[in-house]
């Protein structure tokens, strides 16, 4: 007995369609992760700016993380 995917309306097989759906969903997840990373980085940058404004005698090191 063969396990081939049955064609769906439009000529696509079930396997090919589900692969396209998964690919689309993965793209949405990756976009969401990328947005969250950017937001987190921006929050870190702005919190660092606020900390240096609170200490006017401090000089920025020019590095993302102090050594």
Residue 37 counted as domain residue:
yes
Domain that holds residue 43: 13-53
Tell me what the mean pLDDT of segment 1-6 comes to: 54
Higher-confidence residue of 62 and 34: namely 34
Say what the pLDDT of residue 14 is: 74
Residue of 43, 45, 37 whose CA lies nearest to 64: 45
Number of domains in the chain: 1
Least confident of 14-18, 45-49, 58-62: 58-62
Cβ 14 vs Cβ 5: under 8 Å: yes
Cβ 63 vs Cβ 55: under 8 Å: no
Residue 47 counted as domain residue:
yes
Cβ 25 vs Cβ 33: under 8 Å: no
Angle, vertex CA 23, rays to CA 17 and CA 26, nearest 5: 140
């Amino acid at each position: 007995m063969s396990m081939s995917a049955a064609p769906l309306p439009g000529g696509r097989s079930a396997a090919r369609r589900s692969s396209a759906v998964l690919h689309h969903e993965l793209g949405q997840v990756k976009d969401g992760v990328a947005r969250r990373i950017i937001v987190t980085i921006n929050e870190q940058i702005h919190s660092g700016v606020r900390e240096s404004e609170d200490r006017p005698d401090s000089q920025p090191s020019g590095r993302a993380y102090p050594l």
